[in-house]
Amino acid sequence: MNFKDLEKLYLEKKQQFGTEAYKHISELLEEAKEIHKADWQNNKTPKGDHEQSWRAFKGKNLERLVQYIITDEVEKMGLKVVNGNRLERSTKLSKELSQVKRNLAIDYGKFGLHLPDVDVVIYNPRNCKVLAVISIKVTLRERIAQTGYWKLKLLQDKLTKHIKVFFITPDEDGVLTSKKPAKKGRAIVEVDLDGSYVLTKDKIEESNKVKLFEHFIDDLKQLLKNEAYDND
């Protein structure tokens, strides 16, 4: 199984559920798991097990799927999307992406410039200014505290303090479900991040910082509008 198979499953959900296809991401992943298991049984890894192989595939390809889902709408706004790993690892970046990388880097003084660990970067191609970064994980426990750390580091430099830090997740552990009493992950989102968007059909107690995924593009449009206003 590869990402194209996952993309096909999503397009089937989109045909079935339209704009609410995002609510069925966890269901899609369960379907994908069965296909992945059948493939794995035909090509078993030495001393490995399917759960381990599936977790690696699931995490990596959820990031790619969310990037795939948002890219068209983001580009309609005149913005661009780039994978964080590409900025981190590629040794042959274009001039544009090299500038984006510089504009996102955190200064650790004598220890050099380093990029935050994020999955997706949204930037303005006209000036290479980074507007937002996104961490995408199946559950909050995988990286929510680390994402909060990167937000605090970005805030410390006048060149990066404007960058919004978002988290997108199916929240399969239900950490974001309730505002009060808040679980630790919800508290981190509410206090330290700029927002989290949930890929679920379950009911969640929404706030200014925790919303269903359907609000992401509208919030990004508002962010772009505010950015244009600030630059006037």
Using CA of residue 54, residue 58, residue 64, residue 68, what is the dihedral sign?
A: positive
Output the pLDDT for position 49.
78
Nearest Cα to Cα of residue 198 among 167, 170, 173, 166: 170
Structure tokens at 113: 């410039």
Measured in degrees and rounded to the nearest 5, phi and psi for residue 127 equal -130, 5
Domain map of the chain by residue range? Answer: 3-231
Output the pLDDT for position 65.
93
Residue 44 confidence (pLDDT) above 80:
no
Output the pLDDT for position 227.
78
pLDDT band per the 50, 70, 90 thresholds, residue 55: confident
What is the reported pTM?
Answer: 0.91
- Over residues 208-223, the pLDDT tens digits come to 999 999 999 999 999 9
In this prediction, residues 7-26 reach a mean pLDDT of 90
**73 burial level (CB within 10 Å; 0-12, 13-18, 19+):** middle
Residue 186 confidence (pLDDT) above 80:
yes
In this prediction, residues 121-136 reach a mean pLDDT of 96
Structure tokens at 82: 């780039």
Residue 232 confidence (pLDDT) above 60:
no
Residue 46 confidence (pLDDT) above 80:
no
Tokens 């609410």 -> residue: 20
Residue 26 confidence (pLDDT) above 60:
yes
Whether the Cβ atoms of residue 151 and residue 129 lie closer than 8 Å to each other? no
Output the pLDDT for position 56.
82
Q: Which of 4-13, 95-104, 189-198 has the weakest average pLDDT?
A: 4-13
Cβ count near 132 (within 10 Å):
24
Measured in degrees and rounded to the nearest 5, phi and psi for residue 52 equal -65, -45
Bridge partners (DSSP) of residue 135 are 167
Output the pLDDT for position 39.
82
Nearest Cα to Cα of residue 170 among 5, 30, 74: 30
Output the pLDDT for position 228.
67
Residue 203 confidence (pLDDT) above 80:
yes
- Over residues 77-123, the pLDDT tens digits come to 999 999 999 999 988 899 999 999 999 999 999 999 999 999 999 99
Residue 143 confidence (pLDDT) above 80:
yes
Output the pLDDT for position 83.
95
